């Protein structure tokens, strides 16, 4: 297993991690197989979405903030209940195909680490399964 360490800078942000993951595949010589990603944090998640227009990431965060506001009828005492709900909506894992050393994504797709309780130092666990 490999670990990518990320430093988030805001309470909520989507961080593009496609490039460091592609670089990891190249450095490790991973050619054909499956890349398993796991976020080991309860207030962060992962998603694949458009990577061409930065307004899409902004729109995702804005919509999640409307759906799950910071202040609500929450009982969790730490004051970050909204972050737990948002992380649950995104999910903690992704499974991606790799062919000829490249992560297979659609034309406009990118991989994002979703921070909902930052800024923090975070990890992204990466496991490779080769063919």
What percentage of the chain exceeds 70 in pLDDT? 100
* C-alpha span between 123 and 3 (Å, rounded): 6
Mean pLDDT of 38-61: 97
The closest alpha carbon to 13, from 53, 52, 43, belongs to 43
Average pLDDT score over the chain: 96
Q: Which residue has the higher pLDDT, 74 or 36?
A: 36
pLDDT band at 108 (very low <50, low <70, confident <90, very high): very high
- Taking residue 86's Cβ as centre, other Cβ atoms within 10 Å add up to 24
User: Which residues have a Cβ under 8 Å from the Cβ of 10 and sit 6 or more positions away?
Assistant: 115, 118, 119
End-to-end CA, the chain = 16
Angle at CA of residue 111, ends 35 and 127, nearest 5°: 20
pLDDT of residue 131: 80
Tracing tokens 């694949």 back to the chain, one arrives at 48
**What is the predicted pLDDT for the residue at 77?**
81
For residue 1, what pLDDT band results from cuts at 50, 70 and 90?
A: very high
> Is the per-residue pLDDT at 26 higher than 90?
yes
Predicted pLDDT of residue 123: 98
The per-residue pLDDT for 72 is 86
88 Cβ contact list (under 8 Å, min separation 6): 45
Q: Token pair 């970050």 is at which residue?
A: 80
Domain residue spans in the chain?
A: 2-130
Q: Strand ranges (DSSP E) for 17-99? A: 33-38, 44-50, 93-99
Residue 115 has pLDDT above 90, yes or no: yes
Fold of 2-130: Jelly Rolls (2.60.120)
């Amino acid at each position: 297993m490999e670990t990518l360490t990320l430093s988030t800078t805001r309470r909520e942000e989507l961080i593009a991690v496609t490039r460091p993951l592609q670089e990891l595949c190249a450095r490790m010589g991973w050619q054909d197989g499956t890349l398993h990603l796991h976020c080991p944090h309860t207030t962060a998640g992962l998603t694949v979405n458009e990577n061409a227009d930065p307004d899409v990431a902004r729109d995702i965060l804005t919509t999640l903030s409307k759906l799950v506001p910071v202040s609500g009828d929450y009982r969790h005492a730490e004051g970050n209940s909204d972050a737990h709900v948002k992380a649950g909506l995104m999910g903690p894992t992704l499974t991606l195909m790799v062919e000829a050393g490249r992560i297979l994504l659609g034309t406009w797709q990118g991989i994002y680490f979703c921070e909902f309780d930052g800024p923090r130092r975070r990890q992204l666990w990466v496991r490779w399964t080769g063919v």
